[in-house]
Amino acid sequence: MNVSLTPELEELIQERVRSGRYTSASEVVREALRLLHDRDELRRLRIAELRTKVAAGLDSLDDGRSHDGDAVIDEILDDATAVNRD
């Protein structure tokens, strides 16, 4: 496989090799690809978790289990005001 890199990326790879942490440019690229894979997998898991939470929220709405957002905020503010008075 042949990959074209910008001069900036080539320099970044060479810096990593010069640091001694990596023994070759290939090792740097492999590590970068592993990290990219891990990031993509984490993103996929987070999206799946969010979809599950949204579905649960929608089910709650369908079941009539909801609260008026403005009323909840007003109640919180009233409680905070009462605490500050004491």
What does pTM read for this prediction?
Answer: 0.65
Return the ∠ at Cα 28 (arms to 20 and 9), rounded to 5°: 105
What is the pLDDT at residue 82?
86
State the Cα–Cα distance between residues 35 and 22, nearest whole angstrom: 15
Q: What are phi and psi of 16, to 5 degrees?
A: -65, -40
């492999």: which residue's tokens?
30
| pLDDT tens digits in sequence order for the chain, 86 residues long | 899 999 999 999 999 999 999 999 999 999 999 999 999 999 999 999 999 999 999 999 999 888 888 998 999 999 999 888 76
- Which amino acid, one-letter code, is at 80? A
